[in-house]
Amino acid sequence: DIMINAIDLEWHDRERGELTEIGIAVLDSRDIKNVEPGTNGENWMKQVWYYHLRIKEAGHLQFSKGNPEKFQWGTTVWVTMEQAKAILTDCFNWPAEDIQDPRPRPIVFLGHALHNDIRKLKEKMGLDLDQFGTIVKKVDTQIMAKNVGIGPRRRQVIGLATLCNELGISPSELHNCGNDIAFTMICALLMA
């Protein structure tokens, strides 16, 4: 009865690392309970919800690797930093919807190079997702890839574009964190 929350952040390369975007992908295990994965997990991927948040305070900053205008999985929403923090807090405190158990649902926290995003959430938002006590497992697709024998060519860790290519996915518009987290979720489902 878990929620899989995948998070990716983008930050400005020069302006003190200001947070510019947040990508969120959510998969509720209840939605796939009686669903066959299908070819390459297609049926499960259709159950994922994708979100792309742009941070109002830093939206004017132009120097970064990706194109924040090119989110391919839904609609981009502009939010303040405080609204973004509230959204993430809600994502890690899903109600159980069970009168017998009022505790929030357990969360599997997914990401690619997850340690970077965890550090940025603490630095830029003062948000430590572990404080909620809902995270039962952290899953990093870089580590998953290594564990299933998909390794980097010349680097110690595999990049998202390389991982996608190794799994037969042609990613586009990477470094838009909404797209990045969508491809991260897809890679995780393919490797699971």
| Residue range 32-66, pLDDT digits in tens | 999 999 888 899 999 999 999 999 998 877 656 77
- Span 87-97, pLDDT tens digits: 999 999 998 87
Number of domains comprising the chain: 1
The pair of three-digit structure tokens given for residue 144, joined into one six-digit string: 């998953």
pTM here is: 0.93
**What CATH number did the domain enclosing 131 receive?**
3.30.420.10
**Which residue from 18, 48, 9 is spatially nearest to 187, judged by alpha carbons?**
48
For residue 45, the enclosing domain spans 3-191
Count of all residues that appear for the chain in the document = 192
Minimal CA–CA distance to 66: which of 146, 5, 10? Answer: 10
Is-contact 145 191, C-beta < 8 A? yes
**CB–CB of 104/96 below 8 Å?**
yes
pLDDT for the residue numbered 156:
81
